Chain A
Amino acid sequence: AQSVAQPEDQVNVAEGNPLTVKCTYSVSGNPYLFWYVQYPNRGLQFLLKYITGDNLVKGSYGFEAEFNKSQTSFHLKKPSALVSDSALYFCAVRDFGTGRRALTFGSGTRLQVQP
């Protein structure tokens, strides 16, 4: 069965500093990995995805994520955090090996960016 772990419930970072939100996954086949962001009482917004190819994926709003197959990780990064980046971030995986199209989500990480 596929699973996703986001080991940090909350990440705090000062505005202008780099940020990292961690994600590790477990799948039986090749993973398709996604990051979404959620603002209060809103739906999820798609940030980026990894399918294949370059391990560094660039997405919306200056975010990027690095796929590491040996460590089964897909950490979300941004070189310089903004206060407006404060939100709830979800990592998700789809297991190519199972053919299941629905996503399996992590529990979410709340990012707080202090001015």
Chain B
Amino acid sequence: DGGITQSPKYLFRKEGQNVTLSCEQNLNHDAMYWYRQDPGQGLRLIYYSQIVNDFQKGDIAEGYSVSREKKESFPLTVTSAQKNPTAFYLCASSSGTEITDTQYFGPGTRLTVL
């Protein structure tokens, strides 16, 4: 997990609330990613960013938003439009310089909707 931090570790949200998950990396990586993990489904891509001030939707972007104002930070907002947000959220980063580069993951945030 080293080099990538996610906070908080656990997060509880009430219905109708927006919440923001933090992801910070000190690896000097250009590319950053957000994945959602549900039991038995593996990881699914929410958003990714190849460079500062640019990001693209992944496979399940509906109900989520991101920003990339700084190279080291890629926060994810889970909006009230996300119908089933309870899940484990993982942030990752990679150098972004080669198609063969390795993604490294943070420790994750577990979000629970009350």
- Count A-side interface residues using an 8 Å CB cutoff: 26
A44 to B6 Cα, complex, angstroms? 13
Are B103 and A42 in contact (CB-based, < 8 A)?
no
Residues of B close to A41: CB separation below 8 A: 108, 110
Interface-facing stretch out of A13-21, A61-69, A77-85, A96-104: A96-104
A36 to B99 Cα, complex, angstroms? 18
Are B43 and A101 in contact (CB-based, < 8 A)?
no
Are A90 and B107 in contact (CB-based, < 8 A)?
no
> If the complex has contacts A43-B1, A43-B106, A43-B107, are A101 and B42 also in contact, measured as CB distance less than 8 A?
no
9 more A-B residue pairs beyond the given contacts A43-B106, A45-B1, with a C-beta to C-beta distance below 8 A? A34-B103, A43-B6, A43-B90, A49-B102, A101-B31, A101-B99, A103-B103, A105-B35, A105-B42
